[in-house]
Amino acid sequence: MTRVASTIWTDIQANWKTMVLHGLIFALLFQFLMLIALIVRFQDLPNYVAFYDWFGSAVHIIQSTPSWRDAVQIIWEEWLIEIGFMNYDYGMGISEWSLNVVPSRLVMLFILGATVSLCLALVRRDGCDVGTSNTMRATTGLGALLVAMTNATMSWVVCCATPSWVVGLAMLGLGVSTSLALETMGPLLTGLGFGTLAFIIVVLAARKAYPTKELDPKGAPADA
């Protein structure tokens, strides 16, 4: 395992700039895609943008919350930007839908983008056949989908206006009550997604650290 860990570290050092770039692009692009999905689904352009003092709120939460565990959980859900559609048919108006930019989720998506970048870099340099390579890419895509899906931060008034990944499921037609019932599975699915990506990285690093001997046309080792 030491040799495998060393191989992974060497690849990270060789690709860290690309990983950072891909992480940033993925985190920002995912916000844009969520906004487009909301606009297409509800056929309305956003008509308000709200900015929040995330740093000030985090400091206030830390100072006023005795438990560090509770403070971290509260800060995890704090918003930075809210973009949505306000319906003014109801007095002061009600937000029908919104995209909530949450710093903690941006960090998760950044890590996801960087991890996927490392996975694909290892796949490209791996000497496996086309079928195995495609399987590795598909598995990487599945892991990425699980993490990205469970870190979506969209809200819809029908779903109690709470930003959550299950809003996407409700938008796709799944019953609201069923979608909300699945909300508690978010951390499990996120962990499963990152676990899948970690498994791919370890497998590819192990193949690179312990390459199999090439065979000659008769099936004997090339160095025999």
pLDDT score, position 214: 43
pLDDT score, position 221: 45
| 220 domain residue, yes or no | no
| 125 domain residue, yes or no | yes
Q: What residue numbers bound the domain in which 18 lies?
A: 2-42+102-208
| 97 domain residue, yes or no | no
Closest CA to 155 of 77, 89, 88: 77
Burial class (CB in 10 A: 0-12, 13-18, 19+), 61: middle
Question: Can you give the pTM of this predicted structure?
Answer: 0.85
| 107 domain residue, yes or no | yes
Computed over every residue of the chain, the mean pLDDT equals: 86
Give the residues of the chain that fall short of pLDDT 50.
213-224
pLDDT score, position 213: 47
pLDDT score, position 134: 83
pLDDT score, position 216: 45
pLDDT score, position 212: 62
Number of structural domains the chain divides into: 1
